[in-house]
Chain A
Amino acid sequence: MDQKSAGLNITIFFCQQIDPDQDTNRRALEKELGKRIRFFPLPCSGRIDPLHLMGALESGADKVYLVTCPEGACRYQEGNLRARKRIAYTQGLIEEIGLERERLELIITPAGNPVTVDELARGLLAREALIGPSPIRG
């Protein structure tokens, strides 16, 4: 079953470089899924902090994605590399409290193949649901 049909709450943090028209492009999905999907554009994916990722899980997300710009394309030079480290660190933290590390996932967009945030999110929703609803949701 895909993640959309499984009724999972998805939160997507993404680098603003991915889709300059993100605010318009994400609306169809927001209308379709309501509070089940939340988008947070970031000035740079390197801005992500373990606090953001933990906050998203705490506020009811079953799966949290961090989408970065292609490697070598970061306008802050190392932002996407640092994002990878933050995800790994936070995965360790959530494992310690008994959550699956798969609840956090890093997606690096491929170079030379621009996608809108809507296409990207639909692709993620169509993925096989490997985890169930988060126990934090109660």
Chain B
Amino acid sequence: MPPKYHIHVGSVPNRFQSITRSGVIAWEEGCLKCARCVKKDCVYKVYEKRGIDSRQMLESLDSACMDCFRCVQNCPNKLIQKGLNPAYKALGDSYWTPEIISGLWYQSEAGRIPVSGGGYGGAFSGAGFDAMWTDMSEIVRPTRDGIHGREYISTTIDIGRKVMALQFDEAGALTITPPPLVEIPLPIIFDILPWSPPREGINLAFLKGARSLGTFAVIRQSDFIPAMEEYIPNIILYIDGNLSDLDKSIIKGLRMAEIPYSNEAINAQKALKEINPGLVVIIRMTLNPHASEDVFRLTAEGAEAIHLCADEFGLEKADAPLFIKERIKEIHLRLVERGVRDQITLIAGGGIAMAEHMAKQIICGADMLSVDIALLVAMECRVCRRCKAGIACPVELESVDPLWGSGRIRNLMAGWQNQLLEILGAMGIREVRRLRGEMGRAMFFEDLEKEIFADMGKRG
């Protein structure tokens, strides 16, 4: 067995105090001066370590408080209360919710998985990925001693075109040249951000993180700077400009490149392969209602990998857009039906905000995912989109230290990988490649609704 892929985590503290769900409202006026104040009885000693961050006017009290409510309950004059923090409610939007953002911050700080001790208190079903549940009821053989035990659960993915059968001549020599494949230990690549403050430091953090994890970051041709040359083995260069503007030595050093989808995409792929035959070329396509037909045609023409990109809310580009999981499902099933699914690698991106989204997207038929905003959130982004409007970033992401940023990304990815392993372990699946398209391992709200309610009320 090869050595286990394990992501080592470490504490990478916040640069800015994180915004908490609630804040302590403690009034001094009316204090009875009890001999033993409830504040002194705090088991977490939050009142003793009180400090204020005057940049953001955030109190250390709030982030240290564990919501045990002992002080609130025990103050004899009821001078301590807890109130919902308006800054927390303002985080993100209806898709990138405050709960998702704070969960990502928590994972990025130390690589731990968030555990909600009080059970799940949310809605039973919702939009997007919430209309789908992973199903562990058909466990074949769960892991004997946990995800980090003796058994090996692989999260490795091969990117590139696969040959369906080898051909040999009469002398027994191979007559075909197998196309190049790139193996990565995690079904995730880092994608171009839809918005961000000036991103030089952010991109370097992505690349540093990608290198330490053994994966890749997509870098736009126009964002490529000489300081990135040392990371070339971990760069997927998105060539959306003129190919002749690029130094050929850079293309020769690359293992993967990305090109925009067009009718000339296959010719562009050939042109790149003439410079570097070992290059895996990914075609980047905006997800749209015709995507399944386009993907099938590209597969037939010899495409190696296709990166299907939804927007930041996981929606395709259309007047009545479908959510990414629905469209990927359709594409995957179309390729399965035509018998060509295994030839090509499908990468799905856009709206991937949690570890469970990763597993759910793979179940819907993607080989792997691309992640974008979640990585920015790992570096304390609040998804306020002020940068998009030309307003200063409240957490100064433009001046992020790449070393610190890569540590946060690494922690987040460790948390996500552990959660993926938990899902695979519970399902009795030993490698993530086997999870692809395993729709029997999930329940879909629409299907259940149809199954249960469609015939109700029918007479006879």
| Interfacial residues, chain A to chain B (CB-CB below 8 A) | 13, 16, 22-23, 27, 30-31, 34-35, 40-44, 46-47, 49, 51-52, 55-56, 58-59, 76, 78-79, 82, 85
> Once the chains are docked, how many angstroms separate the CA of A108 from the CA of B390?
32
Known: A43-B25, A56-B54. 8 other contacts (CB 8 A): A23-B90, A30-B391, A31-B390, A43-B23, A44-B83, A47-B23, A59-B54, A85-B29
Min CB distance B74 to A, Å, is 18
> Once the chains are docked, how many angstroms separate the CA of A51 from the CA of B52?
8
B25–A31 contact, CB under 8 A?
no
Min CB distance A45 to B, Å, is 10
The 29 sampled A-B contact pairs (Cβ below 8 Å) are A27-B391, A30-B386, A30-B392, A31-B390, A34-B392, A35-B392, A40-B56, A41-B87, A41-B90, A43-B22, A43-B23, A43-B86, A44-B25, A44-B83, A46-B27, A47-B83, A49-B52, A52-B52, A52-B57, A56-B54, A56-B57, A59-B54, A59-B55, A76-B25, A78-B27, A79-B25, A82-B27, A82-B29, A85-B29
Q: Which residue of A lies closest to B392 (CB)?
A: A34
Min CB distance A50 to B, Å, is 10
A76–B81 contact, CB under 8 A?
yes
Q: Is B66 an interface residue (CB 8 A)?
A: no
Enumerate chain A residues within 8 angstroms of B90, measured Cβ to Cβ: 22-23, 41
A22–B86 contact, CB under 8 A?
yes
Q: Is B32 an interface residue (CB 8 A)?
A: no
> Once the chains are docked, how many angstroms separate the CA of A121 from the CA of B410?
42
Closest A-B pairs by Cβ, 3 of them: A43-B83, A55-B54, A16-B86
B 45-63 contacts with A by CB, 8 A: 52, 54-57
B52–A55 contact, CB under 8 A?
yes
B389–A31 contact, CB under 8 A?
yes
Enumerate chain A residues within 8 angstroms of B386, measured Cβ to Cβ: 27, 30
Count: A-B pairs, CB below 8 Å: 58
Enumerate chain B residues within 8 angstroms of A58, measured Cβ to Cβ: 54
> Once the chains are docked, how many angstroms separate the CA of A79 from the CA of B29?
11
B85–A27 contact, CB under 8 A?
no
| Interfacial residues, chain B to chain A (CB-CB below 8 A) | 22-23, 25, 27, 29, 52, 54-57, 81, 83-87, 90, 384, 386, 389-392
A23–B25 contact, CB under 8 A?
no
> Once the chains are docked, how many angstroms separate the CA of A46 from the CA of B81?
11
Partner of B85, one of A30, A43, A79: A43
A41–B86 contact, CB under 8 A?
yes
Enumerate chain A residues within 8 angstroms of B29, measured Cβ to Cβ: 82, 85
> Once the chains are docked, how many angstroms separate the CA of A79 from the CA of B84?
14
B54–A47 contact, CB under 8 A?
no
> Once the chains are docked, how many angstroms separate the CA of A60 from the CA of B362?
51
> Once the chains are docked, how many angstroms separate the CA of A13 from the CA of B22?
17
> Once the chains are docked, how many angstroms separate the CA of A97 from the CA of B90?
37
A40–B57 contact, CB under 8 A?
yes
Enumerate chain B residues within 8 angstroms of A78, measured Cβ to Cβ: 27
Q: Which residue of A lies closest to B22 (CB)?
A: A43
Enumerate chain B residues within 8 angstroms of A42, measured Cβ to Cβ: 86
Min CB distance A4 to B, Å, is 18
> By CB atoms of chain A within 10 A, which of B27, B84, B86 has the most?
B86
Min CB distance B15 to A, Å, is 17
> Once the chains are docked, how many angstroms separate the CA of A78 from the CA of B29?
11
> Once the chains are docked, how many angstroms separate the CA of A59 from the CA of B84?
26
Min CB distance A104 to B, Å, is 15
Min CB distance A110 to B, Å, is 21
Enumerate chain B residues within 8 angstroms of A49, measured Cβ to Cβ: 52
Enumerate chain A residues within 8 angstroms of B392, measured Cβ to Cβ: 30, 34-35
B25–A46 contact, CB under 8 A?
yes
> Once the chains are docked, how many angstroms separate the CA of A75 from the CA of B229?
57
Min CB distance B317 to A, Å, is 25
Min CB distance A120 to B, Å, is 15
> By CB atoms of chain B within 10 A, which of A23, A40, A59 has the most?
A23
Enumerate chain B residues within 8 angstroms of A23, measured Cβ to Cβ: 87, 90, 384
